[in-house]
Structures are given as structure tokens and as C-alpha cells.
Structure 1
Amino acid sequence: MPTKKKRKQHNPGQPWERLPNEGVQAYAHFCYYRDMPYKDKKNITRLQISRGRTLAKLAKELGASLDTEKNRSRRYNWTSRAGAYDDYVERNLREENEAEIIRMNKLHANAGRQMAAKALRGLLSINENALSALDVVRMLDTGVKIERLARGQSTERQQTDGHVEQAKAEAGAACDGVQIIDDLGVDADADDTAE
């Protein structure tokens, strides 16, 4: 008894690849539809992708019947397959961009480290008696800022709105009995006549 040859089943790995029952022409049209938003565009956004793909445009550009393309789209689920492809492209672009950002940060950190090393060598060779008061202040200010940035700290003083009395009132009983010290370290409640 002769055996029938089994037709080799095509098992696509990704939704945008050819489906087992999808003909060559239908798949070619799907590929054209899938790739429509990406033609001649470098920096494309997700919104531009969704607006750049229509069956009417596909039928017109390929000289095909709109009804035929609508039937193929429904039958082979073109919209969700193209969406899956968009997700894939977007994920790859995002991962590539993130890798470039990491590479850039490493490059900048290395350049900063090299610049700091050269500056330190130059700083050690400066005769400190040759520095003016302004030079010393600038150097101290810059050095402090660099160290704070390197340690992940702010380089600017942050101020908050409000008064001590308002904060004390809002804090309620938690502030009872707390002495307030001003910026010079003097007890604000201390008796001025005490010696």
C-alpha cells in the first residue's frame, strides 16, 4: 500500500514570519504591509508606525484589489502580526540605544578620569605661593563640586519654603522641648545676659 507523503509543516518562530497555510503571494503582500512604515525613515515613533500602514495604501501601491487585501489581512491576522513585528523592532532599537548610552557613559567617565589625573598632576606642580586668593577660592569651590558630584551629592544648596514656627506647629508635640539652634550654633533660647 503506497504511503502518502506528508506535507512538511512550516512552523514559524515569530508571528511576522510566514504561516504554515499562507501562500507565497499573500506572505509577500504581508511583508510589504508589515514594512510600510519603515521605508525611508530613520527616527520613527510608534505613532508614526501605526499611521504609516493601511490596506488601502498597500492595495494602491501593489496594484491589488482592496477587498483581496482585506480578506488576506483578516485570514492571516496581519494587524496583530505587524504589531508584534513593531514591538520586536522597538525593543531592538531600545536595547541598542540603552547599550549606546552605557558605552557613552563609560567613555565619558574614562575621559573625566583622565582629565582629573592630568589636572591632579598639574595641581601638584603648582607653587602654592604663586596662587592668588581668588585662585584658591575658585580651586576650592571647583574641587568641592567635583568631589560632591563624584559621590552623587548635590553641588547646589537646596532651600525650602516656610518658617521654623510653621514647621514646629505642623510637627506638633514632636517638637516640644526642642531647642532651635541658628546657623552660627548659638542657642536661640539662651539668655543674652548669661556669662
Structure 2
Amino acid sequence: MDAPAPWERQPGEPARAYTNFCLYRDLLPAERSLRKVAERVAESSSKPRRVSAVVRQLQRWSSRWRWVERAAAWDAELDRRRREAMLKEARETQERHLRMARAMLTIVARRLQQIDPAELTPKDAARWVQVAAELERLALEQPTAVLEHRGTPAEQWINAILEVWRRRQAGGEGGSGADRSA
């Protein structure tokens, strides 16, 4: 049979000792002391008890049942549980953001196929894609910026689209500017 966790009742530990250990364990670490537990015990007792007498009893139990060590184990367990919950929440947030980014990219791609090119400027289309792609990169924990001044891939893509658009407006490759209404 496995031994109980340190913060649980130990084999042979009297119920009163364990009850008082729980009071000790559940205090904030910065406030944890036998005196504080003794004050609570004395206040809640049906018989008048001196705090000093309660402290002496608690000292015996604390020493015998390793309260300091067990409370430290409890603190470590709470910290582990908090970190685990934080990691789970971070993973769920990442997955949710990734789903949203992919949905946005799908919507933008569909919308771009339905739009009359005359209604949407290349700059607008590039901005839609840039925002969705950046959200996707954030969700995948990929870098969203480049330290060199060459620009991000999205910025380079926007500039390429703008260059093609400028050439078309100027009557260059892909048709003349006369083909488009202003």
C-alpha cells in the first residue's frame, strides 16, 4: 500500500493532531506559525485555554509529525498544481487562437475569390492576409517580426502586390491602366 502524501493524515497520527496540522498547513506560508494556530484553537475551544499551553502541545505534535516539512510539501504541491493549470490554460488559448486564425484565413480566401477586384484595393487584400497570417504565427509561437530592416514576409508580400498593381495602373505588365475604371 502506498504511503499517504505528506499533507494528508499519516499512519498513527491522532485526529486532533491532524486537525491542528491542517490549520497550520492552510495558513499562508508567510503567516504560518504555531502561535497563530494556538490562538485559533484557544478561541474556538469550549473550555478556556491558555495560548501558551496550546503552543506547547502544538510544538510536540509539530516535531513528532514533521509539520514544517509536510507544510512545505503542501506548498510545493499547490505550486505544481498552479503551474499545471497555467500551462493547460496556455495550451487551450494557443489552440483557440490557432483555430481562429485559420478560420480567418479561410474566410479571407473565400471573400477574396468573391470580390470584384475593382472593389478591393491590393493594399486592403494584403492587409487582410497580413493580419490573419500574423495571428496564425502568434498562435504557433513563431516570430512575427524580423530584426533586419528587410521587412517581414507579409510586408514583402504586400510590397510585391503593390508593385504589380502600380505596373498595371501605369499600363505595364498584365494589362493597361485604361482597362480599369478609376
**Which TM class, normalised by the smaller chain length?**
0.5 to 0.7
Superposition map of 1:28-177 within 5 A: 28-37=19-28, 50-63=29-42, 65-131=54-120, 135-141=121-127, 143-144=129-130, 146-147=132-133, 150=137, 152-158=142-148
Question: What secondary structure, in the 3-state scheme, does the structure 2 residue paired with 1:128 have?
Answer: coil
Q: Name the aligned partner's letter for residue 25 of structure 1.
A: R
- Which of 13, 16, 19 is 2:7 aligned to? 16
Percent of aligned pairs with the same amino acid = 26
Taking structure 2 as the reference length, the TM-score comes to 0.63
**Residue-by-residue CA offset, 1:80-107 (whole Å, 9 max, x unaligned):** 1011011112111211221121112111
* Residues in 2 aligned to 1:128 and 1:11: alpha-carbon distance in whole angstroms: 71
- What is the count of residue pairs matched by the alignment? 135
- TM-score scaled by length of structure 1: 0.60
Structure 1 residue 138: Cα displacement: 4.1
C-alpha separation in 1, matches of 2:147 and 2:115: 30
Tell me the SS of whatever aligns to 2:107: helix
**Ranges in structure 2 where 5+ consecutive residues have no aligned partner:** 43-50, 150-182
Relative to structure 1, is the Cα distance of residues 127 and 88 closer, same or farther in structure 2, using a 3 angstrom cutoff?
Answer: same
